[in-house]
Structure 1
Amino acid sequence: MNEKKICADILKQFPEVNPVVVDTALAEEVKKSKKKIIVLDDDPTGVQTIHDISVYTDWSKESIRKGFMEKSKMFFILTNSRGFTVEQTTKAHIEIAETIDETAGEFQQEYMIVSRGDSTLRGHYPLETQLIRDVIAQRKGWGVDGEILCPYFKEGGRFTAGNVHYVKYGEELVPAGQTEFAKDETFGYHSNNLCEYVEEKTGGEYKVEDCICISLESLRAMDFDGIEKQLLEVRDFKKIIVNAIDNYDVKVFCTALYRAMAKGRHFMIRCAAALVKAIADISDKPLLCREEMVTIRNQAGGVIVVGSHTKKTTSQLEELKKLDKIEFIEMNSDLVLEPGELEKEVERILVREEELISQGKSVCIFTKRALLTVEEDTPEEALLRSVRISDAVQSCVGRLKVTPAFVVAKGGITSSDVGTKALKVRCAKVLGQVQPGIPVWQTGEESLFPGTPYVIFPGNVGEVDTLRKVVETLLV
């Protein structure tokens, strides 16, 4: 609890690995594994590191069967559960786990489920992974030996060293428990040390001293055998903390993980986007240019919607306002407290928005920057209110009668709602990233605007000028 801010220079003080040795070892293990990897993504930002992978926005039997039929080793299911209540996420995860196992049986296919969560530790943890574990135990008859926690995500400035998880601000690494993310109304926490975080979140069911920690020293020594030995000794769903400050750290870990799984061990994974890329050995890809994204001739303007209230988002929005090619419209989101008034606000915005887009002008719609606070509020009520606001924001896309050249959504819940409710995407292809950690979907034929590039911009990622750079790339 007493961890202090440290200089980001510490990230350069560890010895480097031999990249050829690590890449070769991981590729061999991935090739040998026959497991289909299904990533359950609690908001659309989990594809921040990958490309040419399918994302299904529902967990119907039809969608999951299509995922299993793909040649790709991995597919994503967008759950959007970070915007769910406990009851909703419980129902969803039981349904998903049961349908995956049933479908895998039809294809006689081994599989593993990865729970992709927030790199700043927010979300329904440990509930979601416990639910999946319980379904597997019931249907398979064997228990899950261990649960892996790896919130490292370089592009977002999230690093774990000495079991402490940090968020990078400028040249400082700030312990996660001391950031604005830890004060989240719904998913807040106090711990900086991930072992303490586990004890805090599990209510003491799993103790600090019970955690197995994979150190940076062993990862940088490429101690595949030593890490594998640690994994083989894990039992009873004990927690495995993965320290990581570079993508090669997670590659070394995944190599040892595959070797442990090949010996019959079973693990659950709760991680950010970096480990997802490593475990499927997905290659790097250059940042996308406009020609790769905007493939349909369209003289209309684009639309940007901003729902996230983080300080980072607000500063990025202010930087975006420097672009004179964008028209800005503020949504009075506080009207959510007055029955019927938020709906009228949406009607007002839509009239002006359609007029501008038809004229070839791009539009940015953003909610009030001051987070609405209510006396005697509860986490559940705060979450439900934020969902109502997000519904209003997404309807500014979903109710458009003109086809925009592109769509950008800023914020986790916002981007999920725009993708699933507004654009009505059921299956999208991940094209890649337009900026580090900023993924782009190509919408499917079934969607509202087929083939339109949809940029998913997390609320907690990027520098001050990143949103402006993204939009500049998309503009003619």
Structure 2
Amino acid sequence: MILEHELLSTFPADTPVPARLVADAVVASGRVLVVLDDDPTGTQSVADLPVLTSWELDDFRWAFENRIAGKRAAAVYVLTNTRSLDPSEAAARNRAVVENSLAAAREAGVELAFTSRSDSTLRGHFPLEPDTIADTAHALDGRPTDGVVIVPAFPDAGRVTIGGTHYARAADGALTPVAETEFARDATFGYANSVLADYVEEKSGGRYQAADAIVLDLGRLRTGTPAESAAAIADALEGATQRTPIVADTVTENDLRRLALGLDEAERRGKKLVYRVGPPFVRGRIGQEEREPLGPDQAVGADAPRHGGLTVVGSHVGLTTRQLEALLRRHRALKVVELDVERLLAGDDAHVAETAERVAADLAVGDVVVHTSRSLVTASNPAGSLAIARKVSGALVDVVRRTLAASRPRFVVAKGGITSSDIAAHGLQIRRAIVRGPMLPGIVSLWEPMEGPAQGIPYVVFAGNVGDDESLADVVEKLSVTMRGAQQQKELIND
């Protein structure tokens, strides 16, 4: 068993770093971070930032002109959903985002930096996406990328990097090298290495060598004052050139803030960096405070629809299945509708319409969960498995779109990365939104749609691989409480 405290005993202790130090540095730089999020779950660690599911020039104009609490946002999320695409489609989408964001930034007089946000368990198109971002930006601004900073850690969800090795933390606190978890056996994005420098070499086919990676371990991050460690980090990056892989340890929020100060100093000295990161990096990089989870009254406004709420479950990781079981156990009045994957793959097109009719009817009397059948169906190759996942997600989207036309839910919770992305962009037709904050500590984000048919319906993005067995039930219960209170008040009045 690998114990976290034993690994950390060889490094300096964690010390507080105020978020304001980072925020002030970001303001001084004038830089806005464009976050290309390969599924929508990257927003779960931030609050009060714009989110786009479309990346036309006008969308970026809106994002750069938008003011939240009187200020331009320090980061803009763009939901690319590229984890559900094949490599060529993913590359094309990354290029379009970079091209249009740079064009809008020139109009607004804004300097940009680019972040490729992906999975904290290392699944996704790497190094394709940061390479595409670097190639496109270089072609447009003439500046080559010196380093690709790789920070997949997500401490809130139990993923930490120590000594250059990436781990998943179990409920008992034990650490497992991430390549030994179920995530590394992903049918599309599997891998064999937990040491991040080796992972880079593996996924790049040797184009980037492990020996050439710069490792920013906790010894460098935690030594001295924040200003001293920032200078030490920037010094370590002086030799970065031609997209040198830069691997950073992270265990706490203070580690992220120290890293952010060092990266800011490196950029101030002239380094051009592209980031490949897990969810909390952006919060640390822009100096945003960790937010308390939203309460029921904050999550569901008084003007929300009075029908029941809708929970959509598409993810098939083991944790999601256990969370669904806990939801059904705790929420006895919940109406349950299953979307049969075998019927979909057999070409039973009527099944989708029938499912949507059941969901819309059940919403009139209470909360509903629609979930895919729990037997995971895969193909013999990654491309085939991805095609199956996209077909199933497309069916869920159709169910939600039909349901929305017939009966507006009080809230929508989408469980799973591809699921939540497709539901947002296509099922609910959300083009522009503001992420308002987390539903649980550090995880699970709530979006406020700013226009379109879903305006006024709180939308909750819930990754497939975060939380504990009770987390989905906790979120649905929190969202349902205001409706139950309203129903009880009505009953009292009627009595």
Q: Is it true that 1:220 corresponds to 2:226 in the alignment?
A: no
**Candidates 38, 42, 48, aligned match of 1:46:** 42
Give, as a single letter, the amino acid of the residue that structure 2 aligns with 1:227.
Answer: I
Q: Give a deviation string over 1:253-283, Cα, whole Å, max 9, x none.
A: 1101101111111001000111111111112
Q: Give a deviation string over 1:165-208, Cα, whole Å, max 9, x none.
A: 11122222111111111111111111110010000011001111
Q: After TM superposition, where is structure 1 displaced by more than 3 Å over at least 4 residues in a row?
A: 8-18, 22-25
Residue 474 of structure 1: aligned partner: 479
Q: 1:9 to 1:329 in 2, by over 3 A?
A: farther
**What's the secondary structure of 1:408's corresponding residue?**
strand
Residue 332 of structure 1: aligned partner: 340
Task: Output the CA distance in 2 between the equivalents of 1:257 and 1:168.
Answer: 27
Q: Is it true that 1:250 corresponds to 2:293 in the alignment?
A: no
**Once the 2 structures are TM-superposed, how far is the Cα of residue 16 of structure 1 from its aligned partner?**
3.6
Q: Is it true that 1:277 corresponds to 2:283 in the alignment?
A: yes
Q: 1:194 to 1:57 in 2, by over 3 A?
A: same
Task: Output the CA distance in 2 between the equivalents of 1:441 and 1:329.
Answer: 25
Residue 469 of structure 2: aligned partner: 464
Q: Give a deviation string over 1:89-128, Cα, whole Å, max 9, x none.
A: 1211111212222222223321101111111111111101
Give, as a single letter, the amino acid of the residue that structure 1 aligns with 2:338.
Answer: E
**What's the secondary structure of 1:19's corresponding residue?**
coil
Name which of structure 1's ranges 129-138 and 346-355 shifts more when overlaid on structure 2: 346-355
Task: Output the CA distance in 1 between the equivalents of 2:180 and 2:152.
Answer: 16
Contact 1:312 1:464 in 2 (8 A): yes
**Once the 2 structures are TM-superposed, how far is the Cα of residue 144 of structure 1 from its aligned partner?**
0.6
Contact 1:336 1:385 in 2 (8 A): no
Q: Give a deviation string over 1:207-238, Cα, whole Å, max 9, x none.
A: 11100000112212242221110012211111
Task: Output the CA distance in 2 between the equivalents of 1:425 and 1:50.
Answer: 19
**Candidates 433, 442, 445, aligned match of 2:448:** 442
Task: Output the CA distance in 1 between the equivalents of 2:447 and 2:232.
Answer: 39
Name which of structure 1's ranges 130-139 and 101-110 shifts more when overlaid on structure 2: 101-110
Task: Output the CA distance in 2 between the equivalents of 1:220 and 1:425.
Answer: 41
- Superposed, 1:11-50 pairs within 5 Å as 13=9, 15-20=12-17, 22-50=18-46
- Superposed, 1:77-476 pairs within 5 Å as 77-171=78-172, 172-222=174-224, 223-295=229-301, 296-322=303-329, 323-339=331-347, 341=348, 343-359=349-365, 361-374=366-379, 377-400=380-403, 401-436=406-441, 437-446=443-452, 448-475=453-480, 476=484
**Once the 2 structures are TM-superposed, how far is the Cα of residue 24 of structure 1 from its aligned partner?**
4.9
**Once the 2 structures are TM-superposed, how far is the Cα of residue 28 of structure 1 from its aligned partner?**
3.3
- Give me the CA root mean square deviation: 1.5
Aligned length: 465
**Once the 2 structures are TM-superposed, how far is the Cα of residue 395 of structure 1 from its aligned partner?**
2.0
- TM-score by length of structure 2 reads 0.91
Task: Output the CA distance in 2 between the equivalents of 1:137 and 1:417.
Answer: 31
Task: Output the CA distance in 2 between the equivalents of 1:8 and 1:352.
Answer: 48
Give, as a single letter, the amino acid of the residue that structure 2 aligns with 1:204.
Answer: G
Q: 1:8 to 1:325 in 2, by over 3 A?
A: farther
Give, as a single letter, the amino acid of the residue that structure 2 aligns with 1:60.
Answer: E
Task: Output the CA distance in 1 between the equivalents of 2:19 and 2:461.
Answer: 29
Task: Output the CA distance in 2 between the equivalents of 1:135 and 1:113.
Answer: 11
Residue 61 of structure 1: aligned partner: 57
Give, as a single letter, the amino acid of the residue that structure 1 aligns with 2:187.
Answer: E
Contact 1:160 1:243 in 2 (8 A): yes
Give, as a single letter, the amino acid of the residue that structure 1 aligns with 2:346.
Answer: E
Structure 1: where are the runs of 5+ without partners? none
**Once the 2 structures are TM-superposed, how far is the Cα of residue 351 of structure 1 from its aligned partner?**
2.1
Task: Output the CA distance in 2 between the equivalents of 1:206 and 1:332.
Answer: 43
**What's the secondary structure of 1:89's corresponding residue?**
helix
Give, as a single letter, the amino acid of the residue that structure 1 aligns with 2:340.
Answer: N
Structure 2: where are the runs of 5+ without partners? 67-71, 485-495
Contact 1:17 1:221 in 2 (8 A): no
**What's the secondary structure of 1:455's corresponding residue?**
strand
- TM-score by length of structure 1 reads 0.95
Contact 2:230 2:262 in 1 (8 A): yes
Give, as a single letter, the amino acid of the residue that structure 1 aligns with 2:321.
Answer: T
Contact 2:33 2:74 in 1 (8 A): yes
Contact 2:339 2:372 in 1 (8 A): yes
Task: Output the CA distance in 2 between the equivalents of 1:52 and 1:461.
Answer: 21
